[in-house]
A = this chain, B = another copy of it.
Amino acid sequence: MPSRSAVPDGKRPTLSDLAARAGVSVPLASMVMRGAKGPSAASRERVLQAAQEIGYRPDSRARLLRSSRSHLVGVQFDLQQPFHADMVEALYAAAGAAGYQIALSAVAASRSEQEAVEMLLADRCEALILLSPHAPAARLAEFAAQLPVVSVARRLRPLTEGVDVVRAADDEGARQAVDHLVALGHRDIVHIDGGRAPGAADRRRGYKSAMKHHGLTDRVRLVPGGLTEDHGAAAARTLLTDSSRPTAVLAFNDHCAIGVLDTFLRARIRVPDEISVVGFDDSHLARLAHVQLTTVGQEARQLARRAVSRVVARLEGGATDDEREVVVTPHLVIRSTTRAPCRS
């Protein structure tokens, strides 16, 4: 059996191995390793040198155990949602900047939110950031009784005690999309909605209010849709068999928009020449070279920053109640699926 490290017995080297090697005391080695001020330049040098030699790495578990603060934020995300991937990346950055670490726990078909959260709690996280949690508000409230909880992208109404919400302004996003289309000259703008999905009601409302604002109340048209390509494709087929075809479509999200695009492509309807399509989320789907979907961006970076700063505020005592719900303004990402209608 090959040796696993520079320490004879094959165990992972500890602070006392390090201290012994450097010829100093354990606490001093500790101070050097965590960059505390105090040790002289010479000692620091010796310890770091020794650390290099024996391949010492601090054991974060022991560290966290000792200090009452763990500076660890648990993040629950869904493996299959591209938007969550963007969020997790942004969260790493935001948390790091605030001096916190992140513990990931994934949700998937075979792994429930319950399991995911249990694990984060066992890991001694100081706070939870849940991406689009599906758990009932009551369960979230239970967690919130133990530690700060932030729900990202899932709105809670009424505001649940102790659970902060950070989300995009879905209504505002839909409004921006409509404004953009109207500015291009569109009037017959259809919204394929998301039914009972989180955010769907807001997007519907934003769509309607924007149409009204542009004096197009009589052109408002909702087609039942959903979250998937299939929903989009089905809705698009409905539009095709229709006598009066709209000149623009605002889909519930990118997935749905992709289904719409594909159906149109197969039906030989050119996008954006004959009809414009707008999605929602700015997921990586929208950015695919052959898709280049105009879409409403959710500003993952912003959402992440706000979620983290909310958590930090709660933990470090700067939380104010007027920020229990943080709403981030989304912004339209204009790509190649929108253009002026060929004739108005």
Q: Which residues of A contact B (CB under 8 A)?
A: 2, 4-5, 11-12, 55, 57-62, 64-65, 68, 70, 79-80, 82, 85-86, 88-89, 92-93, 101, 103-106, 108-111, 118-119, 121-124, 145-147, 161-162, 228-230, 233, 258-259, 262-263, 265-266, 268, 284, 288-290
Contacts and interface: CB of A to CB of B under 8 A. Distances in A.
A11 B150 CA distance: 20
Nearest to A4: B146
Nearest to A86: B79
Nearest to A261: B290
A92 B110 contact: yes
Contacts of A228: 289
Given A145-B4, A262-B290, A89 B61 contact: no
Contact of A80 (B59, B85, B122): B85
B92 A111 contact: yes
B233 A146 contact: no
Contact of A289 (B93, B109, B119, B259): B259
27 contacts: A2-B145, A2-B162, A4-B146, A5-B145, A11-B68, A12-B124, A12-B146, A57-B118, A57-B122, A59-B65, A59-B124, A60-B123, A61-B61, A61-B70, A61-B124, A65-B65, A79-B85, A79-B88, A80-B85, A85-B108, A89-B106, A89-B109, A229-B288, A229-B290, A233-B290, A263-B290, A268-B268
A117 B65 CA distance: 21
**Closest 9 pairs between A and B when the two form their complex, measured CB to CB:** A262-B290, A89-B108, A79-B85, A104-B104, A60-B122, A61-B61, A230-B289, A229-B289, A229-B288
Given A89-B106, A229-B290, 9 more contacts: A79-B85, A79-B86, A85-B108, A88-B108, A92-B106, A104-B104, A229-B289, A230-B289, A265-B265
A61 B58 CA distance: 14
A61 B69 CA distance: 13
Nearest to A63: B122
A92 B55 CA distance: 29
Contact of A124 (B60, B86, B290): B60
